[in-house]
Structures are given as C-alpha cells and as structure tokens.
Structure 1
Amino acid sequence: MNPQATAWSRRHWLAATAALALAACDRPGATAGFKGVDITGAEYASGLSLQDVDGQPRTLAQYKGKVVVVFFGYTQCPDVCPTTMGELAAVKQQLGEQGKDVLPIFVTLDPERDTGPVLKAYMANFGPDFIALRGTPEQTLAAAKSFKVFFAKVPGKTESSYTLDHTAGSYLFDRQGRVRVFTRYGGGPDVLAQDLKQLLAEG
C-alpha cells in the first residue's frame, strides 16, 4: 500500500466523507427525487482507468448505456463490503429484466492482496455480471482521490492481517456515464432500488 494512503487518519476520513455529503446536498441545480445524495454535475468521479480480473484495461466510458454502480472496497472487509455487494445483488434481482441494465463495479483498495483470481472468486458470490477492477498502489490511490474516496490501513496482529478504513458508499452513474448519486452505506436496498429505478427510467 502506498504510504500516502496510510497517512489518512480515521479523523480525516470521517471529516472528508461528511464534507462530501454536505457539499452534495447543497449543490445548486441538483435534481430532486433521489433518496441518496444527489451529486448531479459533480466535477469528481468522472472516470476510471484500471484493469479487470484478467488484466485487461477498462474505463467507465466502455459501459455507457448501462446504469453503473461503483463501490470501492476490499475482499477481506468483514462487513461493509459484502453487505453492500449483497444488497446490490438483491436489488438487481428485485428489478427483474431491468436489473440486467445495472452494472456493479467493485474497485479494490487492496491490490496487494486482491489479485485477479481472488477478485474473480469474490465477485462470483454476487453475480456473473459483477465487475472487479484493480490497479497498482499508485493507480489505486489516484482512482480513490478522483472519487473523493478516503482509505487508510489499520495494522493487524500480523503484517498481512491488516484491515482498511474506507469511505462506505456507492456512486451511481446514468446511462450517459455521468455520476448522479452517492448512496451512503446503511441506507438499505429500498433506497438503492428507488434511485436505480429513476436512473433506468431516464433512458
């Protein structure tokens, strides 16, 4: 993990996440109606350029036409990450045929342990169309900063048993590839489902 990433303290992480939500709520011209935080017109979270589990380069622009949900996490996360992915899988199923137009993208914050095969096996728990992306530590840090995602390594009992504090929320993109909503962790599947339905209906 890049030393710069570990320099973010829990206090800075929480403060930055709160600032993100407050700034989004106050954004002029935001579209009413979303249950999550409306960040329509945000100048951050504009793109991704990382590798998939097979090492192929991927960008958000490749997935225009889909409603994309981007979440930053790591496979050894004990609660937030599997809960978020599980809720997203449930919502896709709930949406029926429309669920096929919702594309979940999991970006690992832990490329040291989350290799391609590890990510492939992890995504298989949630659905065949769940995509995982990874990069070098430097690329990971750059991607996180571009989304205003904050993370920090928390040492464990051994060198390899560390955990990560990280921003707990998902970014929703419309079919044109524009970021529209930040969904906070803990909002529940109904909140996510309503916002996805609205984005799907926009066409």
Structure 2
Amino acid sequence: MNIALRNLRGPAAALALLLAPLVLSGCGPSSEAPLAGARIGGPFALTDQNGKRMTDQALAGKYRIMYFGYSYCPDVCPTDLALITAGLKAFEAKAPALAAKVQPVFVTIDPARDTPARLKTYLADFHPRLIGLTGSAAEIAAIARAYGVPYSRGEGAGDAYMMNHGNQVYLMAPDGAPIALMPTEPGRTPQDFAGELTRWVK
C-alpha cells in the first residue's frame, strides 16, 4: 500500500485504513479505472507558487497527478517528487502529445511554512510544469480531506517540526474524477510510472 502513515493515530489512521480497499482494487489487470466511483477529489481554491489564486477549474480538461507533501520533508516527499518527475518525463519522451494533457500538482500539508515563495524555490528542482499549491490552514484541511490524505504535525519545537502524512499519488481524469493510485512504492521505477500513464491517458 502506497501510504506512509508515519505514526498516524486516531482519525487520520482510520482514514488511511478506509483507503486500503481502493489501493488494493488497482492490483489486477482491469480496463476499469481502479478508483472509479470513489469519493476522492472536489473543488478547491488555493494559491500557487507565484502567489496567484487558483481553483480546480483551471485544471479542467487536464489529467492531474495530485500529490500532497511539504517542502521541509527530509526523505519521502523529495523521493516521490523525483519519481513523479522522471516518470512524467519518460512519458513525455514516449508520447509528447498525450503527456501535454497531464498536469502534475503538489499540495502542501504544511501551509504555515510553505509560502508561495518557499514552494517556488523548492519545486524548481522537479518537473518544470509542476504546480505548487498552498493556502490557509482551513483550505488545506479541506482539500486534504477531499482527497483522503491524512496529516498531522509531528515532533519538534518552533519551526523545526516534522509533518506526519499519507503519500498516495492520485491520477485524476480531465473531469476531476479519480482514476488510479500511481506506482511510487519503494522499488518502483520511472518506467513503471510512465507505464501507468500510458494505460490511462488517452
């Protein structure tokens, strides 16, 4: 299961467990989207890395790779973002016209530290089309809840704290419906990621 719980407890852990059947449903070779009909996603209004307000309507007509994390994450987030970047670039090399329909999106779960300027600097190391989104604590809580992403503040004093969070990567359809969880588990390759895009992006 591609969900890093990192000591989550209570409602957050329960939410992650609810996602387990959805993750497992994608294991077989089926033509139906593994997450078809799942209540994942929805409208949002956030702020991008350029300081501009952005809603989900700006992504209409695009496949979206949705990932939630934070810029101060020491390991999981940069590893996942590197795989997303390499996987999407591999898909671009194979099918540039189809890849142009895919928009990668990074949503912070640490809005207190992840300002637009911080996100712009951090995301510069990854895919050039990657959109970074932040917002108020309430706005981030709302979108994380809509996507079933558990998170909580971890240990650390002042600004030197960690965040516990799920690290599932969603592929969403042009109409905003969920399609599948993307392969980013340890051992997965950019070719695995590109292969999943080839399977679903039309």
TM-score (norm: length of structure 1) = 0.82
Aligned identity (percent) is 29
Matched, 1:178 2:177: yes
Q: 1:60 to 1:196 in 2, by over 3 A?
A: farther
Secondary structure at the counterpart of residue 148 of structure 1: coil
- 1:86-165 pair list within 5 angstroms: 86-95=82-91, 96=93, 97=96, 98-156=98-156, 158-165=157-164
2:40 to 34, 40, 44: 44
Q: 1:171 to 1:23 in 2, by over 3 A?
A: closer
Unaligned runs of 5+ in 2: 1-6
Contact 2:171 2:182 in 1 (8 A): yes
How far residue 46 of structure 1 moved from its aligned partner, in angstroms, is: 2.3
How far residue 170 of structure 1 moved from its aligned partner, in angstroms, is: 0.8
For residues 51-98 of structure 1, the C-alpha deviation after alignment (integer angstroms, 9 at most, x for no partner) is: 112332212222223221011100001111111110111012111114
Looking at structure 1, the residues matched to 159 and 144 of structure 2 have their Cα atoms a distance apart, in angstroms, of 22
- Please provide the CA RMSD for this pair: 2.4
Secondary structure at the counterpart of residue 120 of structure 2: helix
User: Aligned partner of 2:36: which letter?
Assistant: T
Q: 1:14 to 1:192 in 2, by over 3 A?
A: farther
Which stretch of structure 1 is more off in the superposition, 186-195 or 65-74? 186-195
TM-score (norm: length of structure 2) = 0.82
Secondary structure at the counterpart of residue 176 of structure 2: coil
Unaligned runs of 5+ in 1: 1-8
Contact 1:31 1:38 in 2 (8 A): no
Secondary structure at the counterpart of residue 10 of structure 1: coil
**Aligned structure 1 segments of 4 or more residues deviating by more than 6 angstroms:** none
Contact 1:67 1:196 in 2 (8 A): no
User: Aligned partner of 1:61: which letter?
Assistant: Q
